[in-house]
């Protein structure tokens, strides 16, 4: 059993029939009220994020989750196929619901972290930042600067993000997979 005040980011807990990864945890003690632990949790199965407050009476159990490295191979009709980088014959697939929003930034041969729960892989997590090529971008206009606006572009995975005006087709950009935002240009075309 885990006490409500022992929750820390990165922990995985079982609560009311669900399995959740703790993203944020903040202990609050207000005047004349019971202390609470305000948390932001991500459902391991669906990827949905929700906020919950735990009190001393709540019963929490730490889930037995194993993290293993896997490699993304391809996507076919809503099924995402992965393998073990050390043993390519060890393959498995996840549905689009299990992969969630991460699918926007999945590119062939990307190494991901897979979460195993009760002998089955339930979800994956991408690296925080990935490098992707810009395949479609509107032309730049004379006077474009690094700050002061942006334009929508399409990446090699099909994802659409906003980037500064100076980014063009063929450029390699670094994207934060958790926020879906541009962070920097890695290589100019």
Q: Return the SS3 of 101.
A: helix
Q: 58 falls in which pLDDT band (50, 70, 90)?
A: confident
The 8-class DSSP code of residue 105 comes to G
Residue 123 confidence (pLDDT):
80
Residue 84 burial class via C-beta count within 10 angstroms: exposed 0-12, middle 13-18, buried 19 and up: middle
Q: Return the SS3 of 110.
A: coil
The angle subtended at Cα 126 by Cα 122 and Cα 130, nearest 5°, is: 165
H helices of the chain, in order, are: 96-99
Q: For 116-158, what is each residue's pLDDT tens digit?
A: 888 788 888 899 999 999 999 988 666 555 556 788 999 999 9
pTM value > 0.85: no
Residue 166 to residue 49: CA distance in whole angstroms: 34
Q: What is the DSSP string of 52-90?
A: EEE-TT--BEE--EEEEEEEEEEEETTEEEEEETTEEEE
Residue 6 to residue 4: CA distance in whole angstroms: 6
Handedness of CA 159, 161, 165, 167 (dihedral sign): negative
Residue 142 confidence (pLDDT):
60
| Higher per-residue pLDDT: 102 or 185 | 185
Residue 24 to residue 11: CA distance in whole angstroms: 10
Domain architecture of the chain: domains with CATH: 4-62 (2.30.30.30), 67-125 (2.40.50.140), 129-187 (2.40.50.140)
């Amino acid at each position: 059993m885990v006490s409500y005040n022992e929750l820390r980011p990165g922990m995985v807990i079982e609560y009311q029939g669900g399995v959740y990864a703790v993203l944020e945890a903040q202990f609050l003690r207000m005047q004349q009220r019971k202390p609470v632990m305000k948390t932001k949790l991500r459902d391991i199965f669906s990827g949905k994020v929700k906020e919950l407050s735990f009190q001393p009476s709540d019963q929490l159990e730490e889930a037995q989750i194993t993290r293993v490295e896997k490699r993304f191979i391809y996507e076919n009709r809503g099924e995402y196929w992965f393998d073990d980088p050390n043993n390519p014959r060890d393959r498995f697939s996840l549905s689009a619901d299990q992969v969630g929003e991460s699918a926007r930034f999945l590119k062939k041969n990307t190494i991901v972290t897979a979460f195993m729960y009760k002998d089955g892989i339930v979800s994956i997590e991408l690296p925080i930042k990935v490098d992707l090529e810009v395949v479609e971008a509107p032309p730049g206009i004379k006077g474009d600067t690094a700050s002061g606006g942006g334009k929508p572009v399409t990446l090699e995975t099909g994802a659409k993000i906003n980037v500064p005006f100076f980014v063009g087709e063929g450029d390699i950009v670094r994207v934060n997979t958790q926020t879906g935002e541009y962070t920097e240009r890695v290589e100019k075309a």
